[in-house]
Amino acid sequence: MIDVHCHYEDDRFNEDRDEVISSLFQNNVTAVIDAGCTIKDCKMISALAEKYPQFYFCAGIHPGNADEFDENALKELKKLWAEEKCVGVGEIGLDYYWENNPPKDKQKDVFVALVNSAKEINKPVVIHSRDAIGDMLDLIKQENISHGVMHCFSESKETAKICLDAGLYFSFGGTCTFKNAVRANENLLYIPKDRILLETDSPYLAPVPNRGKRNDSTNLQFVIEHIAMLWNTTPKEVERITDENAKRLFNII
């Protein structure tokens, strides 16, 4: 199992971080990709990637932290992107859900700047979009964003088609196991299997039967079982397909 989106730098892992990460790789997790949301977080996950062979990371600035982005931040990010274990630019995007987030124009400017940086270094982008899909689709078309993944995808099939046509991948996690996950399940049947990735967004969004608890990458097994049921195939086959997709997009072994 490859978890393409998690946050082991989160405070909820402060008391047992090393114990949890070590245990992942003894429980059928072959690799994790941690997505940084601030410069401080990116540096922390870079250190974790140095420590654990199967631990990779992406470096970026979350839209909720867009005010952090300036010339110095970009310099720090460029150093991180140059590291061998850095496999993408993210988590970046737009988030209009929280009222206290930076202004929409600031978020868009930072997102475009980071997308252009990703193109320069030929790394995929990890896209966060919450309550902002209209502007996000406009930017995907306007900036010709084709190399990356729509993280925790829960939009309409029509939106999925636009992102598919652009060339993007889609990651699904614990939310697809929730009772109200109609869109996610429709998309898991609609999107071609070679564009689907697995994520946990740990420590958030634990799947049923662990909903509400702290999430970690071992819970991918429940997501895999759910997708296997939808696809009328075996969990092993879901693992094989999604592992291949993750290795292809993020260029990991």
Question: 29-86, pLDDT tens digit by residue?
Answer: 999 999 999 999 999 999 999 999 999 999 999 999 999 999 999 999 999 999 999 9
- Output the pTM of the full model: 0.98
As a whole number of angstroms, the distance between CA 71 and CA 220 comes to: 38
Alpha helices, DSSP H only, in the chain? 17-24, 39-51, 71-81, 104-121, 133-142, 157-166, 182-190, 220-231, 235-250
Residue 83 belongs to what domain range?
A: 2-250
**Mean pLDDT, the chain, whole residue set:** 98
Q: Token pair of 204, please? A: 């958030």
The domain that holds 211 is classified in CATH as 3.20.20.140
Q: Residue 88: helix, strand or coil by DSSP? A: strand
Domain count, the chain: 1
